[in-house]
Structure 1
Amino acid sequence: MLIPRHITAHLRELSLYFPILSLTGPRQAGKTTLLKELYPDYRYVSLEDPDQQLRVTEDPRSFLKHYDYNVIFDEAQRVPALFSYLQTVVDEDRQPGRYILSGSQNFLLRQSITQSLAGRVGIARLFPLDLREIAAANVRPKDYETAIYRGFYPAQFDTGVPPRLFYPSYVSSYIERDVSGLISAANLNTFRRFLQLCAAYAGQLLNYSAIARAVGVSVPTIQSWFSVLEQSYLVFRLPPYYKNFGKRITKSPKLYFYDTGLLCYLLSMQSEKDVINYYQLGALFENLIIAERMKRAQHDGKEARLYFYRDSNQLETDLLEETASGLILTEIKANRTYRDNLLANLHKVGKIAGQPIYKQLVFGGDEGFTVRNVQVFPWHTPVERQV
């Protein structure tokens, strides 16, 4: 089944104001399927097709004269020369929604847009499904360990392909088609080891020197490889919050994966039982909830200023969101049973925040409620802004 995507409203709004739309996101997030469904009257051109690439290269002006309005260019980054000619064409007629660009090699696509089309493009990012979309389609997993293990790529819900078949193919395709164009062929196997090591750091503070030693490359190389993963929308680094608290705080970011199914595959997990028995189950659950918040913000077309807080005394809040009205502090616990001690850090950090705050807990249970001025959310309910 095709699950409706929440980003639809954001795309439609962008198409009212920009002559070009760009939809980026990780490979197999459903970009092409969504665009064809949302814009059925647009002509679709895949620039992975060698014949189309040749047409653009040999005569880009004639190509754009033929494809002049209401066109989707998929894998547009394959033909960088197209972008400067698109600039000329849309400057002559800035009709909103004239072209749509999509692609999986997000570094190359963003680079081409920045160089030639700045100010002319409305940018949206599509990630794997969020919990809200799954709930609306009535396909929510029965428990959080199933959600974590299965992951959220649309193909798993559309076709039922099991994780043990989907993710090996996904990683191979990603490295062979996306990464191979960004790093040397001699380093591809080392990069694969690096990717697996990143999984062990999910939900943890990053130590670039330790990772470099383990992989056998330099720290600058590790930092550049993290940029590759981020630009591919596989991982993100959550920065520490450092404003106004008057405390010595941690300066290292924490690492998270956008998709927990990919994370489980890289950790060599074979079933939901492996999730429950994992020695850092709390980190997996934390990854699930924080990735959900990141995905949902992007699908809504909103900027989310997300951080974590940890000071030199190891006092920590898993997720901190900065808003114009104050801070939202979120504690994330895999416990299925609520206990008052789950709120301890929230109240401690709240006392030193020095500004208006809203406190919430996301836990592994199935029911939400309010206790001691804290809103408690079950794992499957998207956490809404409350400040």
Structure 2
Amino acid sequence: MIDRLLAPKILDLVKKFPIISLTGPRQSGKTTLLKNLLPNYRYVSLENPTTRTFAKEDPNSFLKTYDQFVVFDEVQRVPELFSYLQTKVDEDQIMGQYVLSGSQNFLLLQNITQSLAGRVAILKLLPLSYAELSKANLLSESIAYHIFTGNYPAIFGRGLLPDEFYSNYIETYVQRDVRELLAVKELSSFQTFLRLCAGRVGQPLNLSSLATDCGITSPTAKAWLSILESSYITFTLQPHYQNFNKRLIKSPKLYFYDTGLLCHLLNMTDARQVETYYQRGSLFENAIIADMSKNRFNRGVSPQFYFWQDSNRNEIDLLEEGVGTINLFEMKYTATINPEHFRNLRLYRELSSIGGDNFLIYAGEENQIRSNAKVIPWNQVINL
């Protein structure tokens, strides 16, 4: 098993909260991590129809049967349980009493908000980060390899080829998760929608255009995008609000949590196709932003990430807000740095009165300190 960097945070929080919520995409390693990390906990899967019926029909007896130190997996399948959990933990006052695991974030967080506010620590486990791969000596020298392969644990732990894994992943995701939310006749359209999203990575999201290309309405496109985000397939970056008296792009940008899945949806069959893809810069940008997000989630922190782009196409790929600071990150899929790469970093700093560090992340091998930015190789993102 590859060590997961979220593990220390889980062990810390089970001492401080009665309930821990761990969500993330299917097959990101949640069950494996929890079973190894908390060996004395009972593991109860609510995917099991008999168990699920017990929990739905008699939640009080269910929680008496599983009264403490229990992992409930796919708990969002029994939303009736949450209010009973609230009463149970309030009565017992036991830290680490329950761990709730799930792959459908929208249901879980909705019910946590309603029933368990203040009683639960919320954590996310995404596919492997470059830091985790590096620690396990699995980080290749080729960024194209990692963009193409992706980062799901099964690919590294079971030796599956990307096509073998992602073909089955998409089929399982659509047939199990999406089928519960959409009419059967819409499933093929949803798969088309998923592929169209892959072709728009790193671009400002135009829901109207996306809907037209898919043959659906804009409200449907918005609802389907919400499904993708809630099941940790895609995420969006919102535009930063500082306008400096300029017209700004107001639409969010779309990204995938896993670039291997993204490449599969783009019909890539080899890592070399990443290097020749006409929007390879967007693939590189996606890989870096997703990995930086994982670094924050693995520390139990929600990323404060944005992008900035004005109507003249001046753009900063990623802004990270801190306390009184804004750090800027530009991504360039090139092994050679030229002065033009720093132009937008300079422009933003000239416009903004808020300080911070500038970073240029590239596909080369050397760290450099330039007058306008720290130049960081892609594989050093593990330290950011």
The residue number in structure 2 matching 1:3 is 2
Mapped partners of 1:278, 1:199: distance in 2: 13
The correspondence of residues 276-295 of structure 1 with structure 2, limited to 5 A, is 276-295=275-294
The residue number in structure 1 matching 2:187 is 188
- TM-score normalised by structure 1 residue count: 0.96
- 1:264–1:354: structure 2 CA closer, same or farther, 3 Å change rule? same
Identity of aligned residues (%): 49
Amino acid aligned to 1:198: C
Amino acid aligned to 1:187: E
Offset at 1:369?
1.9
The residue number in structure 2 matching 1:73 is 72
- TM-score normalised by structure 2 residue count: 0.97
Aligned length in residues: 384
The residue number in structure 2 matching 1:143 is 142
Deviations 1:64-102 (A, max 9, x none): 112111111111122222222211111101211000111
Amino acid aligned to 2:188: N
Offset at 1:116?
2.3
Say if 2:301 is the partner of 1:302: yes
Mapped partners of 1:221, 1:322: distance in 2: 32
Mapped partners of 1:280, 1:179: distance in 2: 29
SS of 1:102's partner is strand
Mapped partners of 1:319, 1:384: distance in 2: 16
Amino acid aligned to 1:6: L
SS of 1:367's partner is coil
The residue number in structure 2 matching 1:33 is 32
Offset at 1:357?
2.6
SS of 1:332's partner is strand
The residue number in structure 2 matching 1:374 is 373
The residue number in structure 1 matching 2:115 is 116
Mapped partners of 1:13, 1:107: distance in 2: 25
Offset at 1:182?
1.5
Contact 2:295 2:382 in 1 (8 A): no
Deviations 1:282-325 (A, max 9, x none): 01001111111111111111132111111122111111111113
Mapped partners of 2:258, 2:45: distance in 1: 26
Contact 1:377 1:383 in 2 (8 A): no
The residue number in structure 1 matching 2:270 is 271
Offset at 1:191?
0.6
The residue number in structure 2 matching 1:342 is 341
Where structure 1 has 5 or more consecutive residues not aligned to the other structure, the ranges are: none
Mapped partners of 1:317, 1:58: distance in 2: 53
Mapped partners of 1:332, 1:303: distance in 2: 21
Amino acid aligned to 2:371: R
Offset at 1:359?
0.7
The residue number in structure 1 matching 2:157 is 158
SS of 1:382's partner is helix
Deviations 1:127-146 (A, max 9, x none): 00111111111100220100
The 4+ residue runs of structure 1 with deviation greater than 4 A are: none
- 1:66–1:353: structure 2 CA closer, same or farther, 3 Å change rule? same
Offset at 1:57?
3.2
Amino acid aligned to 2:5: H
Contact 1:25 1:233 in 2 (8 A): yes
The residue number in structure 1 matching 2:175 is 176
Contact 2:326 2:354 in 1 (8 A): yes
The residue number in structure 2 matching 1:57 is 56
Say if 2:220 is the partner of 1:221: yes
Range moving further from structure 2, 287-296 or 45-54: 45-54
Mapped partners of 2:18, 2:340: distance in 1: 53
Mapped partners of 1:356, 1:60: distance in 2: 53
Contact 1:211 1:222 in 2 (8 A): yes
Mapped partners of 1:82, 1:333: distance in 2: 48
Deviations 1:136-161 (A, max 9, x none): 11100220100000000011111110
- 1:244–1:197: structure 2 CA closer, same or farther, 3 Å change rule? closer
The residue number in structure 1 matching 2:315 is 316
The correspondence of residues 10-29 of structure 1 with structure 2, limited to 5 A, is 10-29=9-28
SS of 1:239's partner is strand
